[in-house]
Amino acid sequence: MSYLALYRKYRPSNFDELVGQNKIVKVINNAIINGKISHAYLFSGPRGTGKTTTAKIIAKMVNCKNLKNGLPCETCENCVNFNISNDIVEIDAASNNGVEEIRELRDKVNLVPTNSRYKVYIIDEVHMLTTQAFNALLKTLEEPPKHVIFILATTEPYKVPLTVSSRCQKFQFNKIDDDEIVRRLKQISLKEEILIDDDALYEVARLADGGLRDAINLLDQLTAYKNEIITLDDVYKVNGSVSYKDLYNLLMDIKLGDRKNIIDLVDEFDKTGKNVSKFIEEMLIFLKDVLIYKNSKQKTKIEEKNKKIEEISEKFNDDLIYHMINNLNELLNTIKFGSYPSILLLVNLLKTVEYLDGKDKKSSIMSYMSDKNVDDKEKDKIIVEDKIISREIFPEINNDEKIEKIKQIRINNTFVSASKNFLNDIKLKWNTISDYILDEKFELAAGLLADTNPAVVGLNNIILVSKYESSALRINDNLSVVEQLINKVYNKNFSIIAISNNDWEKEKNKYIENIKKGYKYIYIEEEKQEFNDSQNIEKNAVDQLIDLVGEDIIEYK
């Protein structure tokens, strides 16, 4: 005898065996016992929640000759021959959705049942019928013969015309609770002598998302995969989903700003051909669990997972979780139309690191103000973005002042000897910097420089431009190692400064205005700061700027 799938083998044959739809069972069971059977029902709800099964149980009950306490007797002729009865007609609307099929059904409706009391038509996925098919069904559905019952099932009730649904008794099937799914899976495992631990069962229930059929199917797959006791890791391997441990590690890498680990994870993810959408959905669910724990201390059924959730909840504030959930949700919609979903995922995760860099710096400033009891007037002197405007209230913060001073001097010195040829030479080998991402000494510098491009190059100076303010700040905080890497690549000692796109626009415009006014840039030692005034301009402002940064960068307005 051929193997029978578990979900078919353990399909409920009466309402006592039906799981998770107690309210619906009570209403329909009472209606049948009291002889108040409707001529048409519409069952809607997620897949695997018991719609078609309930329809079959109704068909068996209304035709059972010895119904006792709301249960079919299973011994009468109609119960015994139920699965081969010509009076129970199942129609798959997905493949029989045309008007001709429905007209044929309508013509046969008037034929009396062969052996049964009722002729029951079960139309699955009824929303797939065409408009013409619905119209052909309408009159028969409204006034069917007394011996006919229609049961319509759908996962998308909003696609069923109101003219049809209004002629039916409507029942909404809900997702089945995880505890009830696990209880049913344990019953099946006991009968089938399947060894599986509780953590694995609860993960199977969670992955089934309220659908008992999906849960039993996954259990069936697991038994084929392993004859020994089935564990949580086996569930992840068979289902192809990402474990909560992987999600935890990824979130920690994001928090620590470990770009290399994030890149490696996404690369491995792409090589194994895993579904990016499914990964994002799993990450959203994990973040939801973290958010629920933070706000209500509600735990999952898996103890080891709870420990990871608790640790993440301590390190991630609500704002960051909201930010990630919103971004991942947008990404989920975007990748439907993208050709390279793994690249889009990588960009999204790295942008989250950039966002976190900025938030952390802001938080440290605000925390400092709080510790120093800074009053409201003094707080007005603080830029909420990533740096401080006024330093007089923080005389001990000299490093930022020093960097700002060095920044202005190095921008000046780069313009002094800048050349388009210098810039082109630097651009030729710029991509090779990424080769050092795996070098333990230079991985930080290479990661930071991945988001930047050289904008102006002088004899001994380079201005780097980054899309993000936070990236520019981090480069300037790590100038020593960044300069070491660039000097290694180009075999020359350069002084580097990084600025954001917005700052670059300001510096570029300021340079043009100064040249127009007749100012001449001269080299300044970093210990000094001078600015010389001269009326001798050898080239007009635009021509000089083209020489410095290249014509492709200039926007003519």
In a domain, 556, yes or no: no
pTM of structure: 0.61
Assign 382 a pLDDT band (cuts: 50, 70, 90).
very low
Identify whether 413 is part of a domain. Answer: yes
Q: Are residues 154 and 13 in the same domain?
A: yes
The pair of three-digit structure tokens given for residue 128, joined into one six-digit string: 């797939």
Q: Is residue 268 located within the same domain as residue 153?
A: no
Nearest in space to 478 (alpha carbons), one of 399, 549, 364: 399
- Structural contact between residues 416 and 521, judged by C-beta atoms closer than 8 angstroms: yes
- H or E element that contains 249: helix 244-256
Q: Are residues 188 and 158 in the same domain?
A: no
- Boundary (domain end) residue, out of 172, 189, 220: 172
How high is the pLDDT of residue 215?
92
Mean pLDDT of 429-453: 83
Phi, then psi, of 171 in degrees rounded to 5? -130, 125
pLDDT in tens, 392-409: 333 444 455 666 777 888
Does the residue 392 lie in any domain? no
Please count the structural domains in the chain.
4
> 183 and 152, same structural domain?
no
* 265 and 144 assigned to the same domain: no
Of 172, 204, 229, which closes a domain? 172
In a domain, residue 365? The reply is no
The answer to whether 109 and 137 have CB atoms below 8 angstroms apart is: no
Tell me if 376 is assigned to some domain. no
Q: CA 409: distance to chain centroid?
A: 45
Boundary (domain end) residue, out of 330, 358, 386: 358
- In CATH, what number is assigned to the domain containing residue 185? 1.10.8.60
Is residue 45 a contact partner of residue 155, using CB atoms and an 8 Å limit?
yes
Q: For 408-432, how does the pLDDT look when each residue is reduced to its tens digit (9 = 90+)? A: 888 888 888 888 888 888 888 888 8
CA atoms of 213 and 336, how far apart (whole Å): 27
- Mean local confidence (pLDDT), 14-37: 89
CA distance 407 to 463: 9
Same domain, 289 and 162: no
Instruction: Please give the pLDDT value at position 213.
Output: 92
Q: Angle between the 341-371 and 469-477 helix axes, to the nearest 10 degrees? A: 70
Please give the average per-residue pLDDT across 130-153, as a whole number. 87
Q: Give the pLDDT score at 538.
A: 40
- Domain range spanning residue 12? 6-172
* Residue at token pair 């090589």: 271
Asked whether residue 90 falls in the same domain as residue 126, the answer is: yes
Mean pLDDT, residues 169-196 taken together: 91
158 lies in the same domain as 198: no
Q: Are residues 198 and 141 in the same domain?
A: no
The percentage of residues in the chain with a pLDDT greater than 90, rounded to a whole number, is: 14
Whether 347 and 451 share a structural domain: no
Handedness of CA 399, 402, 407, 413 (dihedral sign): negative
**Segment 464-487, tens digit of pLDDT:** 998 878 788 888 888 888 999 998
Residue 69 lies in a domain: yes
